[in-house]
């Protein structure tokens, strides 16, 4: 018993930080429907500023606290509410999560542009000196860090609970939580409640960040990601509390913190399993909670009884294009592709051939996002992990068994497919937000455990994936490799299009459009998800192998969870529903990165900030902004053609046959033969 307490007490401060996060997450989720993945980044920002202020000579702690948690955090909350979330109250949970990923990715890129990027050690603490021992509890020394963390977090949460229980704001808040629409009808300004929730949650984030400081060895501007990884336990706690109960979230947070420490102490120290277990535990717990508590499966669905009065969320634009545009566009596209290939094989300089090849590899990986997110309607945050599985398998098989790279890539794809299917299968009945969280937790699990062995991620040296060789033909040169990557991409794109047009694509479109309707015609949603995750895993695996092969050595850092997040941002910016979207994303991702090698490194974060900003528009344009712009241009072209027709008619000349479906009924060809071919619908998923 005593020894258990010995282990448990050091876990309590972690638990309190998880609890603060869980409470903050539940608060904004209930008030605004946003599951705020950027919470860790917010925590980091306050911690960073707290340490900065506290470091200046003669600044007392309380000044630092006021600046970082009292001013900065609420201001950040207000900004997030005003600029982002208030504009998308009706967007789907997925779209809101994507927006929060944008914030999560943008903050660590912005910080080094504003502050100097030096690493700081001997970090500040709040209230009691963290190392000093104050009392002994069951013979365990209790340090200042433990006392301050526990007292402050319990106090803050108690004040919050009292406020929600007894104040007028609490009453309004509870009304909004019950039914945002009803509250609106009753004249409660739900936007004001939402803003308050953001401020409160942001303050909790700031506090959690400052309290985490003593536990971090050092601090540098890239650390929001580390904060986020640490605080995934808080997300698990929030999910375990069903995203509803604040006390439940708090208790779950503390419990997870304690459990983590106890488990860690029980394991032999130094082993990969022991080191990896802490970040991985939330994944295990989340999956366990799902298996034990079936009620969690519906997490994230809108339970508002008045949800049906909302206008439907924005549909992807269905644009009809005049049949006369189809031919020039098709040939224009082919010409572009040929021009690209010929140029890259001939006059383009070596500096650019390499990123072009990378772009093609990324495009293949991004097609896996088209499959799972664009078609499957599920946001997966572990696509880079699948790519990593493909790359490492190829490299290891080549190194240890001399397997040709192309065969190895197939093996890697098969393994990634199996893992993808496995992830979907373990949580077969789960979709939406919870599935997204499971994929995120799985990515962290892979980062900290799966890829940490020398037989998988290759340890510090990484894994070298050789360039392929096909009989006498070697693809060692960048130009030859580019050609190979192009062929692979075309094959993968062909697969995606076939699936999209075929029965599987229709089935997935049905599931996206109406889960209830899909079940009513006999579609098994779990099976559909497993299928699409497997296919998507395979495609990411192939893409990963390609990427590995062009890079040479790859390490687990290349496929970290944050890379998955960045991938998602890039693809939703250009368009997650079409092959073109994925290819544009892949090329842009590689080419912009190359272009930014010409600016000072301090600004190399611009690329991700760009895409983060792009993703912020995802809620308004789920088809992607590039795709949206395309539809705008198509509309213009259609309009011009129509004006031209009218002009010809007025001139009394030969009446041009009006060949476009301006009566609303346009046909489309492609999927279903026999449709009238007057106009075709483009830009559908």
Partner 1 sequence: MGDPAPGGGAGSDERTTAGRGAAVAGEPLLAVVDVSVAFGGVQALAGVSLAVAAGEAVGLVGPNGAGKTTLFECISGRLRPDNGRVRFAGSDLAGVPAHRRSRLGIARTFQRVEVFPELTPVEHVLVAARARQGGAMLWRDLVRRGTPRPDEVEQARAIVGMVGLAEAADVPVAALGLGHTRLVELARALASSPRLLLADEPSSGLDTTETSVIATLLRRIQRERGVAVLLVEHDLALVRRAVDRVVVLDSGHVIADGSFGQVVADPAVRRAYLGRSA
Question: Of 506, 604, 609, 659, which lies in the binding site for partner 1, with binding defined by CB under 8 A?
Answer: 506
Using the 8-state DSSP alphabet, how is residue 34 labeled? -
Helix and strand numbers, DSSP H then E, in the chain: 25, 10
The single residue among 517, 553, 639, 656 that binds partner 1, judged by CB under 8 A, is 517
Q: CB-based burial of residue 476 (10 Å sphere; 0-12 exposed, 13-18 middle, 19+ buried)?
A: exposed
Asked if 623 and 95 touch (Cβ cutoff 8 Å), the reply is: no
Quote the CA–CA distance of 595 and 605 in Å, as a whole number: 12
**CB nearer partner 1, residue 158 or residue 491:** 491
Rounded CA gap, 487 and 209, in Å?
A: 48
Given a contact cutoff of 8 angstroms between Cβ atoms, the answer to whether 109 and 221 are in contact is no
Q: Which of 165, 334, 501, 602 binds partner 1 (CB under 8 A)?
A: 501
Backbone torsions φ then ψ of 469, nearest 5 degrees: -140, 125
Which is closer to partner 1, CB of 133 or CB of 672? 672
Q: Does 95 bind partner 1 (CB under 8 A)?
A: no
Min CB(514)–partner 1 separation in Å: 4
| DSSP secondary structure, 298-323, as one string | GTTS---TTGGGSPPPPPPP-EEEEH
Could you tell me the smallest distance in angstroms from the CB atom of residue 314 to partner 1?
11
Which residue carries 């497993």 as its tokens?
530
What is the C-alpha separation between 646 and 656, in angstroms, rounded? 8
Min separation Cβ 549 and partner 1, Å: 25
CB contact set of 107 (below 8 Å; sequence gap of 6+): 38, 41, 42, 44, 45, 224
Number of residues written out for the chain: 685
Q: Is the dihedral of CA 204, 206, 209, 214 positive or negative?
A: negative
Q: Which of the stretches 185-193, 361-369, 409-417, 668-676 binds partner 1 when contact is defined by CB under 8 A?
A: 668-676
Q: Could you tell me if 537 and 421 are in contact, meaning their C-beta atoms sit under 8 angstroms apart?
A: yes
Tell me whether residue 99 or residue 518 sits nearer to partner 1 (CB atom).
518
Between residues 247 and 517, which has the closer beta carbon with respect to partner 1?
A: 517
Q: Per CB under 8 A, does 297 bind partner 1?
A: no
Q: Please, which of residues 628-667 interact with partner 1 by CB under 8 A?
A: 664-667
Smallest distance from the beta carbon of 434 to partner 1, in angstroms? 18
The single residue among 248, 279, 537, 685 that binds partner 1, judged by CB under 8 A, is: 685
- Of 349, 516, 651, 652, the residue at the interface with partner 1 (CB under 8 A) is 516
Q: Single out the segment in contact with partner 1 by CB under 8 A; choices: 84-92, 567-575, 589-597, 676-684.
A: 676-684
User: Which residue number, 130 or 380, has a Cβ lying nearer to partner 1?
Assistant: 380
- How many Cβ atoms sit within 10 Å of the Cβ of residue 115? 12
CB 252 within 8 Å of CB 237 = yes
- Provide the phi-psi class of 674: left if phi over 0, else alpha when psi is between -120 and 50, else beta: left
CA distance 92 to 203: 26
Alpha-carbon gap, residue 67 to 44, rounded angstroms:
14
Q: Characterize the bridge pairing of strands 319-322 and 679-682.
A: antiparallel
Judged on CB neighbours under 10 Å (0-12, 13-18, 19+), 682 is: buried
Query: According to CB under 8 A, which one of 500, 551, 555, 576 is a site residue for partner 1?
Result: 500
Which listed residue (158, 498, 599, 643) binds partner 1 by CB under 8 A? 498
- Give the DSSP per-residue string, 385-404: HHHHHHHHHHHHHHHHH---
Q: Quick one: tokens of 183? A: 């509250």
3-state helix, strand, coil in the chain (%, to 5): 70, 5, 25
Please state the closest distance from residue 517 (CB atom) to partner 1, in A: 4
- Residue 577 C-beta: closest distance to partner 1, Å: 10
Q: Which is nearer to partner 1, 20 or 511 (CB)?
A: 511
- Distance in Å, CB of 289 to partner 1, minimum: 21
Report 241-270 residues binding partner 1 (CB under 8 A).
none
Contact status: 271 vs partner 1 (CB under 8 A):
no
The residue from 144, 505, 548, 581 that contacts partner 1 (CB under 8 A) is: 505
Please give the structure tokens belonging to residue 590.
Answer: 């590689």
Q: Is there binding between residue 495 and partner 1 (CB under 8 A)?
A: yes
Provide the minimum distance between the beta carbon of 76 and partner 1 in the complex, in angstroms, as a whole number. Answer: 37
Q: Which stretch binds partner 1 (CB under 8 A): 118-126, 133-141, 407-415, 522-530?
A: 522-530
Three-state secondary-structure class, residue 562: helix
Figure out which of the listed residues 27, 225, 507, 565 binds partner 1, where binding follows CB under 8 A: 507
Considering the complex, what minimum distance in angstroms separates the CB of residue 470 from partner 1?
A: 23
668 near partner 1, judged by CB under 8 A: yes
Residue among 335, 487, 519, 595 that touches partner 1 (CB under 8 A): 519
Beta carbon nearer to partner 1, 155 or 517? 517
- Per rule CB under 8 A, is residue 311 in the interface with partner 1? no
* Contact call for residue 531 and partner 1 (CB under 8 A): yes
Of the candidate spans 229-237, 343-351, 513-521, 651-659, the one that interacts with partner 1 by CB under 8 A turns out to be 513-521
**Residues in contact with partner 1, total (CB under 8 A)?**
50
- CA angle centred on 270, ends 564 and 227, rounded to 5°: 35
Q: Per CB under 8 A, which region of 287-295, 398-406, 451-459, 489-497 contacts partner 1?
A: 489-497
- Quick note: the x/- pattern for partner 1 over 313-352, rule CB under 8 A, is --xx-x----------------------------------
Orientation of helix 39-55 relative to helix 224-240, angle to 10°: 130
Closest CB 502 distance from partner 1, rounded Å: 3
Residues of this chain that interact with partner 1 (CB under 8 A) are 308, 315-316, 318, 494-495, 497-507, 509-510, 512-514, 516-525, 527-528, 531, 535, 664-668, 671-676, 681, 684-685
């Amino acid at each position: 018993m005593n020894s258990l307490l010995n282990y448990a007490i050091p876990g309590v401060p972690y638990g309190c930080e998880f609890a603060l996060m869980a409470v903050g997450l539940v608060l904004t989720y209930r008030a605004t429907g946003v599951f705020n993945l950027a919470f860790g980044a917010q925590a980091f920002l306050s911690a960073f500023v707290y340490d900065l202020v506290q470091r200046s000579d003669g600044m007392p702690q309380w000044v630092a606290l006021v600046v970082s948690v009292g001013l900065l955090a609420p201001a950040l909350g207000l900004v997030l509410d005003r600029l982002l979330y208030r504009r998308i109250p009706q967007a789907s949970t997925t779209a809101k999560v994507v927006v929060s990923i944008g914030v999560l990715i943008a903050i660590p890129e912005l910080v080094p542009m504003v502050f100097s990027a030096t690493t700081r050690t001997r970090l500040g603490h709040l209230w009691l000196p963290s190392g000093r021992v104050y009392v002994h509890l069951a013979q365990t020394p209790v340090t200042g860090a433990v006392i301050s963390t526990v007292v402050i977090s319990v106090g803050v949460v108690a004040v919050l609970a009292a406020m929600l229980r007894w104040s007028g704001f609490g009453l309004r808040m509870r009304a909004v939580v019950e039914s945002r629409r009803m509250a609106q009808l009753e004249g409660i300004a739900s936007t004001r409640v939402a803003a308050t929730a953001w401020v409160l949650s942001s303050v909790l984030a700031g506090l959690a960040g400052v309290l985490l400081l003593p536990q971090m060895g050092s601090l540098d501007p890239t650390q929001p990601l580390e904060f986020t990884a640490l605080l995934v336990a808080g997300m698990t706690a929030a999910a375990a509390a069903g995203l509803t109960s604040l006390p439940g979230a708090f208790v779950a947070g503390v419990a997870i913190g304690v459990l983590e420490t106890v488990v860690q102490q029980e394991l032999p120290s130094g082993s990969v399993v022991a080191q990896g277990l802490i970040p991985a535990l939330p994944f295990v717990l989340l999956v366990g909670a799902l298996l034990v508590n079936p009620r969690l499966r519906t997490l994230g669905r809108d339970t508002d009884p008045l949800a049906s009065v909302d206008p439907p969320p924005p549909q992807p634009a269905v644009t009809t294009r005049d049949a006369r545009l189809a031919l020039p566009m098709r040939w224009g596209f082919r010409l572009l592709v040929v021009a690209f290939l010929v140029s890259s094989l001939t006059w383009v300089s070596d500096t650019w051939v390499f990123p072009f090849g990378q772009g093609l590899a990324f495009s293949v990986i991004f097609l896996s996002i088209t499959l799972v997110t664009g078609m499957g309607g599920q946001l997966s945050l572990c696509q880079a992990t699948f790519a990593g599985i493909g790359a490492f398998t190829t490299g290891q098989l080549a190194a240890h068994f001399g397997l040709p790279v192309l065969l190895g890539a197939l093996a890697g794809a098969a393994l990634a497919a199996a893992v993808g299917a496995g992830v979907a299968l373990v949580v077969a009945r789960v979709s939406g937000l919870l599935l997204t969280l499971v994929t995120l937790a799985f990515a962290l699990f892979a980062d900290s455990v799966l890829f940490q062995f020398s037989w998988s991620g290759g340890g510090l040296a990484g894994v070298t994936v050789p360039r392929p060789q096909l009989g006498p033909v070697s693809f060692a040169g960048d130009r030859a490799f580019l050609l190979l990557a192009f062929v692979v991409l075309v094959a993968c794109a062909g697969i995606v299009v076939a699936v999209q047009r075929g029965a599987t694509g229709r089935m997935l479109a049905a599931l996206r459009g109406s889960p209830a309707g899909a079940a009513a015609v006999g579609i098994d949603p779990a099976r559909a998800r497993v299928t699409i995750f497997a296919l998507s895993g395979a495609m990411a695996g192939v893409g990963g192998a390609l990427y590995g092969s062009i890079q040479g050595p790859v390490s687990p850092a290349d496929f970290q969870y944050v890379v998955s997040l960045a991938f998602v941002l890039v693809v939703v910016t250009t368009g997650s529903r079409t092959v073109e979207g994925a290819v544009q994303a892949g090329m842009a991702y590689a080419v912009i990165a190359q272009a930014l090698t010409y600016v000072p490194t301090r600004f190399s974060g611009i690329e991700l900030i760009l895409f983060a900003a792009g993703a912020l528009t995802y809620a308004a344009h789920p088809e992607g902004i590039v795709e949206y712009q395309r539809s705008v241009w198509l509309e213009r072209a259609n309009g011009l053609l129509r004006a031209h027709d009218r002009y010809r008619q007025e001139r009394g000349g030969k009446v041009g046959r009006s060949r476009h479906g301006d009566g609303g009924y346009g046909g489309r060809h492609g999927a279903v033969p026999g449709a009238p071919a007057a106009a075709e619908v483009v830009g559908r998923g």
